[in-house]
Structure formats: structure tokens, C-alpha cells
Amino acid sequence: MALRGCEAVLIVSALYGLLFPWEWIQDYDLTMKDRDPGNQVVHRLWRDAGLGGALNAWCQRQQIECVIDLLSPDYRKALGGFATLNAEVLTFTYPGRGIGALQDRGDDLRRLLEAKSAGPSRTMRAEDLTTR
């Protein structure tokens, strides 16, 4: 399978929801595994608030046909597991990597962005990305 370079990058934040990389945010220490004062898991709050639907609406407006998912499981749960997404989803997992998966995700994103900056003729094979 050949992957063309990224068209857009969105960040899923436990505090802010969906963000673009250039948006300013405050320093915070919250993850999707944490619980709110009412003992509700943060990823459930975002799922129930319709974060997946917001992503789907944005993808439809931008005519996004494919989403490359580098999320950890709890962040994926916040989107409802992409249940409402009307686009192909390529999900990358990093089993057994623990905290090392953070670097793997970053490395894979860097490779995708480098492929985009190399121009439209540059394609990337799935094998070019981290596989563990």
C-alpha cells in the first residue's frame, strides 16, 4: 500500500479536544485515562460530548478521505473508535512498546510530514513507518 504525504495534522487533546499543531495552549497535566471530579474517565466525557462527530464533520468539510491514526487506545476511545467517521482509517498500533510508543508515533508523524514536503511525487510505503 502506498501512502501519500499528510494533508493535515490534528491533535487530540485531553483538555482541549481537537487542535491544530499551531494553536496555543496552556501547560496542563491531563490524559484521557484520568478522571474528572465526578469520577468520570476523561475519554468518556469527550466521547459523550461528540468528539468523534466533530472530527467527522471537519473531515467532511475538508473532503478528507483517509485518516492515519497514530493515537493510543484511550485517545481513540475519546473519538468513539472512529465509529462516526466517513473516511478510511489506517490505524497504527505499537504493542508492547509502553512509553516508547510515544517516540514511535512522533517518528512516524515526522516521516509522513517529510514525505509531504518532498512533493507530490513522493509516496510512502506503510513499511516505511515504524512497525513493531
pLDDT tens-place string over residues 61-120: 888 888 889 999 999 999 998 877 888 888 888 888 887 888 898 898 888 888 766 655
Residue 34 — very low, low, confident or very high, per pLDDT cuts 50/70/90?
very high
Residue 25, in any domain of the structure:
no
Residue 29 domain flag: no
CA distance 41 to 74: 10
Higher pLDDT, 99 or 57: 57
Is residue 80 assigned to a domain?
Answer: yes
CB 57 within 8 A of CB 29: no
- The single-letter DSSP state of residue 65 is -
- Domain of residue 67 covers 2-18+35-128
Mean of the pLDDT values across residues 45-62?
92
In a domain, 27, yes or no: no
Distance, CA of 46 to chain centre = 14
Local structure of 82: helix, strand or coil = coil
Structural domain contains residue 114: yes
Look at residue 131 in the predicted model and tell me its pLDDT.
Answer: 46
Report the pLDDT value the prediction gives residue 132, as an integer from 0 to 100: 43
Rg (CA), the chain: 15
Residue 84 lies in a domain: yes
Q: How many domains does the chain have?
A: 1
